[in-house]
Structure 1
Amino acid sequence: MTALDDREWRVIRDGSREGAMQMALEEVAARTALEDGVRTVRTYSWEPSTLSLGYRQDADTVDWDFCEREGIDVTRRQTGGGGIYHDRFADISYTIVAPADEVPGDLMDCYELFCDPILEAFDRMSVDAAFASAEQDAIYQPSCYLRDINPAHDIVAPANAGDGANKISGNAQYRQRDVVIQHGSISYGLEPRNHVGVFDADLAESTFTDRVTSVRDVAGIDRDDAVETIAESLRDWCDADESSWRDGELEAARALADRKFGADEWVRDREVLAAGDSPR
């Protein structure tokens, strides 16, 4: 942590929010890091359950009827990769936000630094996890958890099992206004029906369960304990102060969610509405 020593960090143990708001809060946290010098780590959940599309993902890969019928929201991330079904219970998510000039410029080195507290959390939960030691070919490219497994940023369990390991966490980064934002999805439980159902493809549930494992399956711990462990590991990693969102940040995030992450223009076509425009 030498590159981040003596910096001001806050940890936010966020509650459940709709997907558009969760994505908007990341951009707001980036603004806070740049303008106020306050870096953020946080844990969060999704309510309702949400499919987040990768930045360049074709909206035609979504089974929109299934999502509507099951009450699953859809948003689009700033990061690439495939879609991720974030179950309100089975998914635990986190974010790390810091100025770009304080972290390694090399992408792989930055992943290694920012995933350190996540790997530590797995260790504290007695989950034998590590960066994937071997690539695994994609099963279904539009799904993040069924894409090829990449040793650079995919975490699998058990560690050092080669192509016999199952994915337990996906992590991604993007840079905005000289700030690095990393977010990740940690599989607490498995909901294979929805994980495959959100896509417009004929995928068997076993396709998912054969590739993915979860904290609950490996360690059997309570979800609240898992969330607390991840939050504590993030806090200890950067010596963060306990905090919460400021009123102004929440207001800015709501406005951004309305005109970007919650708007069809963004979700389906990657178009950002100008301030004052109404979403269709």
Structure 2
Amino acid sequence: MTDVSDRADDADLAGREWRLIRDEARDGAIQMALEEVAAETALEDGIRTVRTYSWEPSALSLGYRQDAETVDWDYCEREGIDVTRRQTGGGGIYHDRDADISYTIVAPADEVPGDLMECYALFCEPILEAFDRLGVDADFAASEQEAIYQPSCYLRDIHPAHDIVAPAGGDSSAGAADEVDAVPKKISGNAQYRQRDVVIQHGSISFALEPERHVGTFDADLEPATFRDRVTSISEQTGGEITREEAVATIGDALGDWCDADAGEWRDGELEAARDLADRKYGSDAWVRNREVLEAGEQ
């Protein structure tokens, strides 16, 4: 595997000002708002951001164009599952407080490859490095897999450009492997969007599986076994030998090494701006259900 520091040098990332935020658990609206705030910081102050984070309470993040009618709203309310909507496309992702590990990379667009696939390859390098350090045999999917249920990110079609599977290099066709564990399953989904000349990539990494709650968030007749057949996790791939804390620390270390980031944290002004944006956008029904952004002062 290519050393992450070498890859960063190739893109001229190292040597610029980066901060690594090992973030605390926050609700989904704030987590999404913080990405936009980080984009403003990158543009206005020249500070780029990589971070790890988790969701409290557990949350369902809808893809940008996902129909709100695909959500089982009664289930989410009953189970205390928050619902927000991402800026990126794709299907919904259930982010369990303990089973999901999320990350963000934020950098000015003129400092990274303009080609989308090249940018994915670069930004996923530290994630692949983290899997390597954790002892998980993972890589980009070698071939596409057809969708099982399009509104769910982990059950929609698997794309070699940005979906990571484990084990790496296996044949995904039905009956291709003697051992079911040898069939590659999705372990991480990654997506990008651009906000005022800044590239933002975020991703979900499965530390463990919560198939009942994941399929329960959707208003569809889905069996938990369907999810288990398509998705794997760090815990499953390592035989339960890695704790969540170790996995989060390793992912953070790989992100920091990739761009030679200094340890950092959110500034008070950033947190205040994120709370305001969460109220007006990511935490509002107008955005979550209809992709409408409230202006300042609107309720």
**Alignment TM-score > 0.5, same fold:** yes
Whether 1:255 and 2:276 are equivalent positions in the alignment is yes
2:116 corresponds to which letter in structure 1?
L
Whether 1:181 and 2:203 are equivalent positions in the alignment is no
Q: Which of 186, 210, 213 is the matching residue for 1:167?
A: 186
Whether 1:56 and 2:60 are equivalent positions in the alignment is no
CA RMSD of aligned residues (A): 0.5
Q: Which of 212, 218, 232 is the matching residue for 2:231?
A: 212
Which SS does the other structure have where 2:130 is aligned? helix
1:236 corresponds to which letter in structure 2?
D
Counterparts of 1:111-150 in structure 2 under 5 Å?
A: 111-150=120-159
Q: Which residue of 2 aligns with 1:96?
A: 105
Whether 1:77 and 2:96 are equivalent positions in the alignment is no
Tell me the distance in 1 between the aligned counterparts of 2:276 and 2:115: 33
Tell me the distance in 1 between the aligned counterparts of 2:270 and 2:139: 34
Q: Which of 37, 42, 63 is the matching residue for 1:28?
A: 37
Which SS does the other structure have where 2:29 is aligned? helix
Which SS does the other structure have where 1:146 is aligned? coil
1:49 corresponds to which letter in structure 2?
S
Which SS does the other structure have where 2:298 is aligned? coil
2:34 corresponds to which letter in structure 1?
L
TM-score by length of 2: 0.92
Runs of 4+ in 1 over 2 A off after TM superposition: none
Unaligned segments of structure 2, at least 5 residues: 1-7, 173-182
Whether 1:200 and 2:219 are equivalent positions in the alignment is yes
2:201 corresponds to which letter in structure 1?
Q
How many residue pairs match? The answer is: 278
- The structure that is strand-richer by fraction is 1
Aligned partners of 1:188 and 1:214 also within 8 Å: yes
Q: Which of 41, 45, 61 is the matching residue for 2:54?
A: 45
Q: Spell out, residue by residue over 1:94-151, the C-alpha distance to the aligned partner (whole angstroms, 9 max, x if none).
A: 0000000000000000000000000000000000000000110000000000000000
Whether 1:16 and 2:33 are equivalent positions in the alignment is no
Tell me the distance in 1 between the aligned counterparts of 2:275 and 2:297: 13
TM-score by length of 1: 0.99
Q: Which residue of 2 aligns with 1:264?
A: 285
Could you tell me how far 1:6 is from its partner in structure 2?
1.5
Q: Which residue of 1 aligns with 2:75?
A: 66
Q: Spell out, residue by residue over 1:63-106, the C-alpha distance to the aligned partner (whole angstroms, 9 max, x if none).
A: 00000000000000000000000000000000000000000000
Whether 1:110 and 2:110 are equivalent positions in the alignment is no
Could you tell me how far 1:162 is from its partner in structure 2?
2.7
Tell me the distance in 2 between the aligned counterparts of 1:91 and 1:165: 19
Identity of aligned residues (%): 77
Could you tell me how far 1:5 is from its partner in structure 2?
2.9
Whether 1:5 and 2:14 are equivalent positions in the alignment is yes
2:57 corresponds to which letter in structure 1?
P
Unaligned segments of structure 1, at least 5 residues: none
Which SS does the other structure have where 2:232 is aligned? coil
Aligned partners of 1:132 and 1:162 also within 8 Å: no
Aligned partners of 1:169 and 1:186 also within 8 Å: yes
1:184 corresponds to which letter in structure 2?
G
Tell me the distance in 2 between the aligned counterparts of 1:183 and 1:55: 14
